[in-house]
Amino acid sequence: MFKRPLTQIIAHRGSKGTRPENTLSAFQAAIDAGADGIETDVQLTRDHQLVIMHDERVDRTTDGTGYLKDFTLAELKDLDAGHFFSPEYAGTPVPTLDEVIQLLIRNDFQGVFNLELKTNKIPYPGIEQRLAGYFQRQSVPFRVVFSSFRAKSLITLRALYPEAEYAKLFKTAGQQARRMQRRHQVGALHPDIHWVKANRFWLPHVQLRPWTVNNEADMTYCFRHHFAGMFTDYPARAVAVRAEIQGES
């Protein structure tokens, strides 16, 4: 009897709901929770180092102020990326891309690693070349998926590194995303969960990985529709809900 594959649970910025986002602690917690995937965000420092942070400015998640692009890696490493979440995590550093990759390798992680290029507001010239070069040098035991709101970044990187998978992020621009899929510029679509629920006519036609799915009702919605995956800040919670609806693997 045919059994549908489980909807993949991808930890959004790690276990963002229970740890300081985009830190090694958040990624380790997501692995320990049984997440099928890790999602995170990559940007470039002033000295062209690949680092992990969601916002273009450091203000919200560190004790610093200003644009990440204006910091060197050494200056960024002096910031506290944990205290904003809880005093328990004071002194947590901003990780580099390589530090995250090495953590996953040490854990023998074999799921999905979704790396979002944060180029829709600041283009970070050369970031695609640096990412392609990094993954050409560093073999990994997991699937790499690159995503972005900026179509040009995905097209550029795909030409340089076709071995990875590519996905278009969008909040409302569904037509552009679908056009990219038809042209085989991306293989997957990553829409806002609110957009998905407002555009139900898409559901029979494409496999989606919606974001950010945090409450039990939205998790249930994704699991009942057997989406390819979903992004959540609470991977442990999602694992429990999935077991109730889709069963165990």
Q: Domain coordinates of the chain in residue numbers?
A: 8-246
Over its length of 249 residues, how does the chain's per-residue pLDDT go in tens digits? 567 899 999 999 999 999 999 999 999 999 999 999 999 999 999 999 999 999 999 999 999 999 999 999 999 999 999 999 999 999 999 999 999 999 999 999 999 999 999 999 999 999 999 999 999 999 999 999 999 999 999 999 999 999 999 999 999 989 999 899 999 999 999 999 999 999 887 666 667 999 999 999 999 999 999 999 999 999 999 999 999 999 976
DSSP strands (E only) in 53-157: 112-117, 143-148
SS3 breakdown of the chain: % helix, strand, coil, rounded to 5?
Answer: 35, 20, 45
Structure tokens at 49: 């180092």
* Residue 83 annotated in active site: no
Residue-wise over 189-208: b if at least 16 C-beta within 10 A, else e? Answer: bbbbbebbeeeeeeeeeeeb
Identified catalytic residue from 54, 83, 190, 194: 54
pLDDT at 204: 61
Enclosing H/E stretch for 198: helix 193-198
Residue 1 is predicted with a pLDDT of 55
For the question of whether the overall pTM of this predicted structure is more than 0.85, the answer is yes
Under CATH, what is the fold of the domain 8-246? Answer: TIM Barrel (3.20.20)
Place of tokens 């273009």: 56
What end-to-end distance do the CA atoms of the chain give, in Å? Answer: 15
Q: Produce one character per residue of 15-47: b if its CB has 16 or more CB atoms within 10 Å, e if not.
A: bbbbbbbbbbbbbbbbbebbbbbbbbbbbbbee
Cα distances from 13 to residues 1, 29, 112, in angstroms, run 36, 11, 13
- The token duo for 164 is 């990875």
Of the residues 12, 190, 194, 205, only one is catalytic, namely: 12
Asked if 184 is an active-site residue, the reply is no
